[in-house]
Amino acid sequence: MKRTKKIARPLCLALLMTVSACNNTPKNIFLQEWDTPYGTAPFSQITLDQYVPAFKAGIEEQKKNVEAILSCTEEPTFENTVLAMEKASPILDKVQGVFFNLSESDSTPEMQAIEEEITPLLTDASNEILMNEALFARVKAVYENMDGLTREQQMATKKLYQSFERNGVGLDEAGKKRFGEISNRLAALTQQFGQKLLAENNAFKEATGITVSEYYDFMASCDDRAKREQVFKAYSSRGNNGNENDTNAIVLEVLKLRAEMARLLGYPNFAAFQLSNKMAGDPATVDNFLQPIMDACMRSAKAQMKEMQKIAGHKIEAWDWMYYAEKLRAQKYALDENLTKPYFQADSVLKGVFTAAEKIYGISIEEAPEVEVYNPEVRAYKLSEPDGSLIGIFYRDYYVRPTKRGGAWMNNFREQSTGVRPVIVNVCNFPAPNEDPTAAAPSLLTIDNVTTAFHEFGHALHGFLTQCNYASVSGTNVARDFVEMFSQFNENFAFVPEILSQYANNCYTGEPIPASLVEKIRKSLQFNQGFAAGETCAASILDMKWHELSVDQLATFKGPEDIRAFEDKVCKEMGLIDEIIPRYRTSYFNHIIASGYSAGYYSYLWSEVLAVDAWEKFKEDGIFNKETASAFRKTFLEKGGSEEPMVLYRQFRGADPDPSALMRARGLQ
């Protein structure tokens, strides 16, 4: 998941200005060239008091460059308009790349206060650009005369043109004013939501003794049923406790403002607006995609529940599911995760992640101790081509911290473009070595954690191996329901025997993982998919149903009781059984409230269809077939967003994706 918060990319190569002497002391590191290895951020020289002045300087730089574009007397061209906007402010690129990464991995009160100050500044600057009719006229002139442009230039132009359209440039003055008010309020609300959820996550740990990231593992292994119930209820009520960190009021206001924004732009609801530039195209397509998956998941879940019921000897409740699923898995496959964990020490797993990438794509990865990091737990690595040329710099930030947002994600400190090598981070919340329940052991990972590590590096490879000229369409700058294909595709390598043998050694004895244990893991991967895919599908449907509501429909919602009633209604209509809840309930559904996946959480399942169908080609040709791997790299990873997703997919596969591939991969047929 990519989470860089940016205002519209911008500006003119010939008109580009530097502001190193602008309005601030030259000691501000963001206003200077970085004389560091590979131009990476000099974290030790960055102080909190530098951020706001740097943001203001960047906004001023961008404003002056926009004015220069508007005063240009030449006919609008890709170079003097679209590319010029692409390069609006190197200062903003620098400071945003650092600040928004660190604000998520180290969300201290001081960082939160800075974010509160800069968010309205950035939103206003974005609105000023994207509602400027004269600037839009220049972009439109290029958009309507794209015949002489390369395909990549056409896609970059189209993306910029749509950004103007989707940000209210065509509205009258009253409409623009209201759109700007909504944008500012949404920016503030989503920031507040993230802060409240972080506080709720920390309160959850205080109340239960475990972190949010340890929840699933705990629920699968805790023998104390009363404790499981307590933890389940605490986990599933985050943001819905009527305290100072209750998120319900924020959620309702966000949903209502989004619906109003969509109506201003001529859409019946926010889902229709969001999907209008995605692969799926419209809400009906997504709804018709999700419900058959839900039906298959519930058939599987009900059958599995009967088996678990026999083991439990009592009615299965929601807080029992993971525990008895683990018991059933042990019974069916003789697989105990306590026996697998010693083979999946975090650093060893990272070695496996790197080994897979090196073997498939022919690259090399080595630690880069000369690169400064932002936290002692973080490690830096250098990726290179076979000829030694630099691909990019990678930060590994794996361990849980109290100030780190929950979940796992990939993000850019710097995006690839002509002459610019990317700097990318993977952030996870794996158990820290000194908190591991096995005491003397380093960080030991579950099978799900291992999959997460491969998943996030799949995003990183998408960002690293791109070969685009323009940052706006490079790497992961693709449609939301396309971007998750590459992360999910990379998951497949985690348990390939040839890869496992390179990294899965017992951290106590050094012995390689036994072939018999590997086979048990592989056989068990399709187990419990009614639950795993079902909770994801349920969250996806819930997301869609919230964002398919119109302004008038949302006006009837007044408080937490309306939110829960709507959730219950949607869950009943989709056929979700009582023993399973959506992976995220609304009050803590960060993806759709604050992380850019609104009316987009379905993307994980949509992209999974693409990923598993592409993986079937690898299996057909041989997983380590060099020609197939080269075709995947050249067709997908190098292209970024420089071509329409389905065009690329058909080039690689020779056909449209097969929706049934997901059912086969999950064992749900």
Active site residues: 456
Angle 144-150-156 from CA coordinates, rounded to 5°: 65
∠ Cα 599 287 246 (to 5°) = 40
Give the three-state DSSP class for 52: helix
Residue 122 near residue 7, CB atoms below 8 Å? yes
Buried b (16+ CB within 10 A) or exposed e, 18-31: ebeebebeeebbbb
Q: Within 13 Å of residue 425, how many CA atoms lie on the same side as its CB?
A: 28
Q: Name residue 578's amino acid.
A: D
Q: In b/e form, how buried is each residue of 203-237, taking b as 16+ CB within 10 angstroms? A: ebbeebebbbbbbebbbbbbeeeeebeebbebbbe
CB proximity list for 658: less than 8 A, separation 6 or greater: 609, 613, 616
- Report the distance separating Cα 575 and Cα 541, nearest Å: 11
Rounded to an integer, what distance in angstroms lies between the CA atom of residue 486 and that of residue 648?
A: 13
> Torsion over CA of 25, 28, 34 and 37, rounded to 10 degrees?
140
**Sheet (strand 409-414) strand order:** 364-367, 379-384, 390-399, 423-430, 409-414
- The tokens for 414 are 């710097």
Closest CA to 496 of 483, 515, 470: 515
Crossing angle for the helix pair 151-165 and 133-143, to the nearest 10 degrees? 150
Helix ranges (H only) for 595-656 are: 603-621, 626-632, 645-653
Cβ distance 588 to 200 under 8 Å? yes
- Which residue in the block uniquely carries the two structure tokens 């998951």? 491
H or E segment to which residue 344 belongs: none
